[in-house]
A and B are shown apart, each in its own frame.
Chain A
């Protein structure tokens, strides 16, 4: 692995290796007085964020620092999409500064892939447009593995705005690769076009789709979608696709509730569900750090020198 751009390009072996190393990272650091490993000492990791995402940026920063890497936060307020410095020029600048890895979050799908053409270091996609968010999917998979014991043979419902969700896309490729069954649930307006070839089940009825699931992943609904006629009102959306306590009761007792955050409480997820012990939302955040440590470690050391 030179870069991590999507989960689609990962082999099952690579995905399983990342999850194994994630486990090792968690074990190596948890409970330590100084939760730091020396693995990436002297290496420079640049966080190049073109979108505000304190959560993801902080998670990557924490991960890199726990591996003793030097972290540079390159807060790019503007991109060439809105007439700032071009991505290529920024890449050449980072290249000249000697970045070993660049973690990029960008509103344009494919921006991380373009970046690989302009610099030598590892590129780690931290979310590009509505395309991919591989570390989110990996942390989701890790969370499922910890809570459910395994992923193979499990059924996961991904609910809501699939069309605009990089989290959904990355989870689809990763979870099916790891042997899970994935159901996409949402109104037809929020499902992508021509996805008959995707290895998923598609449903419009949330109640029916919750039967027999092992995990349900609720996606955030962006407020601006309401003004673009994807659905009539927030209330109607919530009634049809929100996860409330009644729906929670339709799920098997062992099934977990996931959300990549940030949540719209009362919209796609009821507050009582978000705070229930079956929700894994804060664990997902914790696991995100371990996963990002594992990925940074694997990309920057090729798994050697452990």
Chain B
């Protein structure tokens, strides 16, 4: 592999440097002059550690009509990601060593981003019996994070056991916090808008009650819990208090919860249907502030591709979820102060370093320094782009941002020194 020089990139907003990459790792940072090296001119671009997504639905195996590991990781690379954590709600469910190894292998074969499978907490996501968590942890996929995402681990006994069990290998449970009895038939955030639209409400307390309970369980068991897609102001308050007490609690927020509100449901267009639902403006403001402050640890996309027929229908018949991988960076920048106001170090912390640390992905979320794997993305802070669903790399089209102009473009993404995206375009050759 030829040496690579990334020339005069603004390293995480701290100043211009050259980065020399040799054999997939950083060899030198500073003023580099290397002969016979491939040079990527990064003048005017910001270099970030490659983004890490804690929450991606790649849909393979089972719903390859909506997304595959290949198309999903291409979308990830396009969005600046070098690693994604694949949620367990595939068909079959990722509740055995076999399925998680298959997903990891598909990721390696695709070559666009590292795919770290998340294992199911319970068999078939049914919330009844623990899945073979130990087998998945010891498999080649080395699963550390477990989640029934899409479903809440609502049985307090099962949640307690799962939290205790993952301590054996330093794992964690990522909870989809939703008290199911409070959300039966729920279609959108419960509040003024749902009352007017006549759509059954998803009360914020259904999320907050589970988060409060699981904070207590985490403290009681001494285990690690991570909260998926935190969406309400009160949830933030509970997490803040838990952290202040020293509970081993982390939390993520989704880009759409940082930008959109339940007002979008007035169109009855299910592209805005998502679980947990879009909340109120007041929640958006609190989530943004909590992300900037670090009470919310990470941005996670909850990238949820859906086939057209699952969205081109009545709201109640539609599946919940929206695309996120290719728009998350732009929206994170918006939420953290916009392209001129954003602190790139904070952005890197929330979209790369911290999620990598939570997921246990040691080769990711690293700023360039000699020896680290060259997993980086180069972004143009002054560029803007307009979201065109047909232009996305994902196999699906269910983006809620169609037609919106967003700040910041991804110019290049490097996975172990090899470009997966260059000049804003996906590289077709990915073999290492």
Contact = CB atoms under 8 A, between A and B. Distances in A.
Interface in B296-355: 309, 312-317
Contacts of B268: 109-111, 113-114
Interface of A: 8, 79-81, 86-88, 106-111, 113-114, 128-132, 166, 169, 192-197
Nearest to A83: B317
Contacts of B194: 192-193
Given A194-B191, A197-B192, A106 B198 contact: no
13 contacts: A8-B196, A80-B314, A81-B317, A108-B317, A109-B187, A109-B197, A114-B268, A130-B200, A169-B198, A192-B194, A193-B190, A193-B203, A194-B191
A114 B313 contact: yes
Contacts of A130: 198-200
B316 A109 contact: yes
A109 B317 contact: no
B384 interface: no
B195 to A, nearest CB: 3
Nearest to B268: A110
A106 B314 contact: yes
Given A108-B314, A114-B313, A131-B197, 7 more contacts: A88-B312, A108-B316, A110-B268, A111-B314, A130-B200, A192-B194, A193-B195
B201 interface: yes
A64 to B, nearest CB: 25
Nearest to A112: B268
A6 to B, nearest CB: 9
Interface in B216-248: none
B195 A195 contact: yes
Contacts of B314: 79-81, 87, 106, 108, 110-111, 114
A80 B196 contact: no
Contact of A109 (B192, B198, B269, B312): B198
Closest 7 CB pairs of A and B: A110-B268, A131-B198, A192-B195, A130-B198, A108-B314, A108-B316, A109-B198
Contact of A129 (B190, B196, B198, B313): B198
Main secondary structure, interface of A, reads loop
Contacts of B269: 114
A86 B313 contact: yes
A87 B314 CA distance: 7
A81 B198 CA distance: 16
A196 B195 CA distance: 11
A80 B317 contact: yes
B192 A194 contact: yes
Interface in B163-222: 187, 190-192, 194-201, 203
A146 B251 CA distance: 60
Contacts of A114: 268-269, 313-315
A131 B265 CA distance: 13
Nearest to A81: B317
A128 B191 CA distance: 19
A9 B198 CA distance: 15
Contact of B316 (A8, A86, A129, A195): A129
Contacts of B195: 192-195
Nearest to B309: A86
A109 B313 contact: no
A131 B200 CA distance: 10
Contacts of B200: 130
Contacts of B192: 193-197
Nearest to A172: B196
B198 A132 contact: yes
A108 B312 contact: no
B108 to A, nearest CB: 37
A81 B199 CA distance: 14
A84 to B, nearest CB: 10
Nearest to A133: B198
Contacts of B187: 109
B198 A79 contact: no
Contacts of B309: 86
A114 B312 CA distance: 9
Nearest to A197: B192
Nearest to B280: A194
A169 B201 CA distance: 16
Contacts of A81: 314, 316-317
A70 B198 CA distance: 32
B315 A109 contact: yes
Contacts of B312: 86, 88
Contact of B199 (A79, A106, A110): A110
A192 B191 CA distance: 8
Contacts of B201: 193
Nearest to B308: A88
Contacts of B203: 193
Nearest to B198: A131
B316 A88 contact: no
Most A CB contacts (10 A, CB to CB) among B191, B194, B197, B267 go to B197
A80 B312 CA distance: 10
B375 to A, nearest CB: 42
A129 B314 CA distance: 11
